[in-house]
Chains A and B, each alone.
Chain A
Amino acid sequence: MTGRAEVLDALSGVRDPELDEPITDLDFISELEVEGGSAFVRLRLPTYFCAPNFAYLMVADAKEALLSVPGIESASVVLDDHYASGEINVGVNEGLGFDNAFPEETESPDLEELRTVFRRKSFVARQEQLCRELLAQDYTPEDLARMSLGDVPTSDLRRKYLERRSELGLEVSGTAPLLVDPDGRRVPEEAVVQHLRFARTVRVSIEGNAELCRGLLATRYGVPFREESTA
């Protein structure tokens, strides 16, 4: 029989596309029930008016994650306390797709384009985190420009970077250059410092926003606001 642990593990692969963090870490799951071959999840968000497009993606991704667990045959996901809960819950659980869930309210075909925008941002932010770690280990910006992925010591940040890099369809072999832009173009040596300066702003923006959202969720549901990390 399928257990909660496996289901939670699958759900930890679902990220808030904007914040680039797993919904399990963000405390967005308020209820999880697994019984036999069926799973039920209740989600909650920091505010009543959180962007419905991102909300939709998370509900849909959560349902897909549940169904990916061996042994789970039926799954339903419910979003609570959101101004568009009704449309989103019906849309996802009946497989309507975002555009059909909000007839006459959307303007561009579905949400993949938006998802890509944020995947690119997250790619940039994760690359910067990895490079920051390398610079702290006494690599120089020139080293980074010359390094291939195979030269980068194994680490959690390296794994995270490669994960997003491969999602964008970029080369991840050991001989591919470490520093490329979101289109896969190599960053030239003389541009590395400036490239990383831009990248840091992207990272700070994503992280700052995630902290704001955690704070709002904590005040809304009276859950503990975890200690601020020092990193």
Chain B
Amino acid sequence: MYEKDGEKYFVVDGHVHFWDASPENWIEGQEQYAKGWIECFYGYHQLGPEEYYWPMEKYQKYSEETMIKDLFEDGYVDRAIFLPTYLKSWYREGFNTIEQDAVLAEKYPDKFVLNGRFDPRDGEEGLRQLERDHERYGIKGVKLYTAEWHNGSKGWSLKDPEAMRYLEKCEELGITNIHAHKGPTIWPLNKDAFDVRDIDEAATSFPNLNFIVEHVGLPRIEDFCFMATQEPNVYAGLSVVLGGLMHSRPRFFAKVMGELLFWVGEDKMIWASDYAIWHPKWQVEMFVDWEYPEGHEYDDFPRLSTEGKKKILGLNAARLYDIEVPPELRLPEAEEDAQSVEPTVS
């Protein structure tokens, strides 16, 4: 919980990692990729304020104590959502798997939300695994990487018939939050991995599932915006947007936020620190203080009120994950009708 000027904010961090990118975990012959990957993350890390930089050694592998302190003691986070990133072709035990995350999630059940993953190219066995993960961990969401390579395939689409079977399975099991990574990526050769059109189709076919587009389709935010504005069950995952731009490029951050507020709206935007890429503390503090910079170029963007910030920082994600929000941290009208969603596009 964060408090400023008499206002209290319930904070849900929509995307955190507990990764191991230490050299001991690199697969022989794949070291350059394993090293390149974490160095790439480290570049993003340095777009945040300097006082939060970590040395590379700590960045490669951080302890449970560090994570708990950063998120829940210093970073104002009430609940953090784990989204796994496997990368098992480079990292022996994976970069950040559900098993790794589960160690913390089971130890601190009131702090974390654990999510799984699927890849429709895993066929029947993948469906069984999804069932097992659901049974064992009670997952309510999955992280998907449509651009990931797998056995000679160069990615997949949510429109694929195999993917539809997985989405049907998710619906059946009550795994309602589908987090699709559509953002800075590794493997799009000439395959168009940033394309968000498959989300459009899946969101229409599965109105009972929520589709959270992580990193808002960067580098093609516009395609994401034009799609999300038409789909009531598509959400903007703001990791990278806040972490990568708010401190380093405040004017561009304001424009990107303005566009997202215009097309997607404050009811469908979900903040995430992307920890440990960035520390949540400065993001929460800076975002609560945030307003458009001076200048007429921002005049016709929608304004963001304290109420809107509360939704983005936690209440929207709490709704998707049925996280109970203490009464004093709810919005006044939300107590009467939690389901009411205002139209967001003028």
A-side residues, CB < 8 A to B, are 18, 46-49, 51-53, 83, 98, 102, 104-108, 110-111, 114, 121, 198, 200-202, 204-209, 211-212, 215-216, 219-220, 225, 228-231
What are some 7 contacts across the A-B interface (CB < 8 A)? Answer: A49-B185, A198-B226, A200-B259, A209-B219, A212-B245, A212-B249, A228-B250
Assess the B33–A110 pair: CB atoms within 8 A: no
Q: How far is the CA of A220 from the CA of B41 in the complex (A)?
A: 11
CB distance from B259 to the nearest CB of A (A): 5
Residue B165 lies at the interface, judged by CB distance under 8 Å to chain A: no
Closest-by-CB residue of B relative to A125 is B222
Assess the B189–A53 pair: CB atoms within 8 A: yes
Residues of A within 8 A of B305 (CB): none
Q: How far is the CA of A206 from the CA of B218 in the complex (A)?
A: 9
Residues of B within 8 A of A48 (CB): 36-37, 39-40
Report the 10 A-B pairs with minimum CB-CB distance, sorted nearest first.
A48-B36, A219-B46, A209-B219, A205-B221, A205-B222, A201-B222, A49-B186, A211-B249, A47-B40, A211-B252
Residues of B within 8 A of A104 (CB): 152
Assess the B244–A83 pair: CB atoms within 8 A: no
Contact of B43 among A211, A216, A230 (CB under 8 A): A216
CB distance from B109 to the nearest CB of A (A): 35
CB distance from B278 to the nearest CB of A (A): 13
Q: How far is the CA of A159 from the CA of B256 in the complex (A)?
A: 27
Residues of B within 8 A of A228 (CB): 249-252
Q: How far is the CA of A212 from the CA of B29 in the complex (A)?
A: 31
Q: How far is the CA of A90 from the CA of B219 in the complex (A)?
A: 28
Residues of A within 8 A of B40 (CB): 47-49
Assess the B218–A209 pair: CB atoms within 8 A: yes
Told that A83-B186, A209-B221 touch, could you supply 19 new A-B pairs with CB distance under 8 A?
Answer: A48-B37, A83-B36, A98-B190, A105-B189, A106-B189, A106-B190, A107-B190, A108-B191, A121-B222, A201-B221, A201-B225, A204-B255, A204-B259, A205-B220, A205-B259, A212-B47, A212-B218, A215-B47, A215-B244
Residue B306 lies at the interface, judged by CB distance under 8 Å to chain A: no
Do A201 and B245 form a contact, CB below 8 Å, given A208-B255, A219-B46?
A: no
Contact of B251 among A46, A206, A215, A230 (CB under 8 A): A230
Residue B154 lies at the interface, judged by CB distance under 8 Å to chain A: yes
Contact of A201 among B39, B186, B226, B250 (CB under 8 A): B226
Assess the A216–B154 pair: CB atoms within 8 A: no
Q: How far is the CA of A200 from the CA of B259 in the complex (A)?
A: 9
Assess the B186–A212 pair: CB atoms within 8 A: no
Assess the A49–B249 pair: CB atoms within 8 A: no
Closest-by-CB residue of A relative to B296 is A136
Residues of A within 8 A of B54 (CB): none
Closest-by-CB residue of A relative to B244 is A212
Assess the B222–A202 pair: CB atoms within 8 A: yes
Do A107 and B47 form a contact, CB below 8 Å, given A47-B40, A83-B32, A207-B252?
A: no
Q: How far is the CA of A47 from the CA of B219 in the complex (A)?
A: 14
Residues of A within 8 A of B248 (CB): 211, 215, 225
CB distance from B342 to the nearest CB of A (A): 20
B-side residues, CB < 8 A to A, are 32-33, 36-37, 39-40, 43-44, 46-47, 152, 154, 184-186, 188-192, 218-222, 225-226, 240, 244-245, 248-252, 255-256, 258-259, 263, 295, 297
Do A49 and B43 form a contact, CB below 8 Å, given A107-B154, A204-B259, A230-B251?
A: no
Assess the A108–B252 pair: CB atoms within 8 A: no
Assess the A49–B36 pair: CB atoms within 8 A: yes
Contact of B219 among A18, A200, A219 (CB under 8 A): A18
Closest-by-CB residue of B relative to A98 is B190
Q: How far is the CA of A198 from the CA of B222 in the complex (A)?
A: 8
Contact of A83 among B33, B252, B297 (CB under 8 A): B33
CB distance from B272 to the nearest CB of A (A): 16
Q: How far is the CA of A231 from the CA of B279 in the complex (A)?
A: 30
Closest-by-CB residue of B relative to A225 is B248
Of B220, B222, B226, B245, most buried by chain A (CB within 10 Å of CB) is B222
Q: How far is the CA of A48 from the CA of B221 in the complex (A)?
A: 22
Q: How far is the CA of A177 from the CA of B118 in the complex (A)?
A: 50
CB distance from A136 to the nearest CB of B (A): 9
Residues of A within 8 A of B263 (CB): 201
Residues of A within 8 A of B43 (CB): 46-47, 216, 219-220
Q: How far is the CA of A111 from the CA of B259 in the complex (A)?
A: 30
Assess the A215–B189 pair: CB atoms within 8 A: no
Residues of A within 8 A of B259 (CB): 200-201, 204-205
Residues of B within 8 A of A215 (CB): 47, 244, 248-249
Assess the A205–B219 pair: CB atoms within 8 A: yes
Residues of A within 8 A of B297 (CB): 231
Q: How far is the CA of A123 from the CA of B135 in the complex (A)?
A: 51
Q: How far is the CA of A53 from the CA of B255 in the complex (A)?
A: 28
